[in-house]
Amino acid sequence: MVFGVLEKARSLANDLEIDQKGLNHKYSAWRNRQGRRQMKLQNIRIVMVGTTHPGNIGAAARAMHNMSIGQLTLVDPQCPIGEIAYARASGANVILDNRETCADLRQAIADCNLVIATSARRRSLAWPELDPGELVEKLFAMDDSSHAALVFGREHSGLNNEELQLCNQMVCIPTNPDFSSLNLASAIQVLCYEIYRCQSTLTEAAPRETDEQDLPASSGEIEGYFEHLQKSLELTGFLNPRQPGLIMQRLRRLYLRSEMTRNEINILRGMLTAIEKRRG
């Protein structure tokens, strides 16, 4: 009887070891991403939209510098970047000195292959959501030629729906449901920490040649496709040009969820051009 129990224990231990090896193999495969070099921290951009308090910008710079993320882009800031911002940065002056300022979000993310919005409130049209762990996995599944942006909205109202529709997905930080409001710089700190923590554990894989057309399309390329798509749908009569509204929002959500490559964008635009030619 004792012998039988021992045999069952050995069998269970072997099964657990196999399962663990399987998990380790899957994790290693994810980390190495089929031989491509991993996303670089310097390719990750923090975008702050319509920020009203310079202290939040300074505190965000400090949080970024703590976690080795150096790209800060301000979209239409509503405050001066002066003494208060530098004081709150507590020595992270390089982040503020090298910041970029853009008039609108479209300009700020035009070269990005992945754009993730942050939001604490639910929308009438639900947007694909990630938690911080899923965000990190998605970032480091990209290679070192890709660029990503994390977009943070205004302190009092966040991102508007038009800005959200420029983003591939949305990340939500789990918080106490009875007190879910996070300070802007605190939210930036949480996500930068998750990115830094994961990046520091990854092993670098040998580089592999990647066809440029197989890389994720940039935000600018995707926006060009949406403009082309709307024009073609209006031409065919599928869309009312005066009220494209909800249909285009739903199509945006559908296509952004698929994370199209440059080659796929070219195929889709080629199809639209052929349809337009047929319509005369």
Q: What is the pLDDT of residues 144-200, one digit of tens each?
A: 889 999 999 999 989 998 999 899 999 999 999 888 888 999 999 999 999 999 887
Domain range list for the chain: 41-199, 213-279
pLDDT at 203 over 80: no
- What average pLDDT does the structure give for the chain? 82
Q: Are 171 and 135 in contact (CB under 8 A)?
A: yes
Residue in this structure with the two tokens 């420029």, named with its chain if needed: 166
Q: Name the token pair of 91.
A: 């020595």
Residue in this structure with the two tokens 């994720």, named with its chain if needed: 216
Total length of the chain: 280
- Pick from 40-54, 77-91, 240-254: least confident: 240-254
Q: Are 72 and 177 in contact (CB under 8 A)?
A: no
Question: Residue 228: what residue type?
Answer: H
Regarding predicted confidence, which is higher, 177 or 1? 177
Spatial separation of the C-alpha atoms in residues 173 and 180, rounded to whole Å: 9
- Percent of the chain at pLDDT above 70? 80
CATH code, 41-199: 3.40.1280.10
Phi, psi of 17 (to 5 degrees): -65, -40
Return the beta strands (E) in 105-147 as ranges.
114-118, 129-130
Please count the CA atoms within 13 angstroms of the CA of 155 that sit on its side-chain side: 15
Strand duo 71-75 + 114-118: pairing: unpaired
CATH code, 213-279: 1.10.8.590
Cβ partners under 8 Å of residue 89, min gap 6: 58, 59, 61, 62, 65, 95, 96
Q: Are 74 and 101 in contact (CB under 8 A)?
A: yes
Burial letters for 9-37: b for 16+ Cβ neighbours within 10 Å, e otherwise? eeeeeeeeeeeeeeeeeeeeeebbbeebb
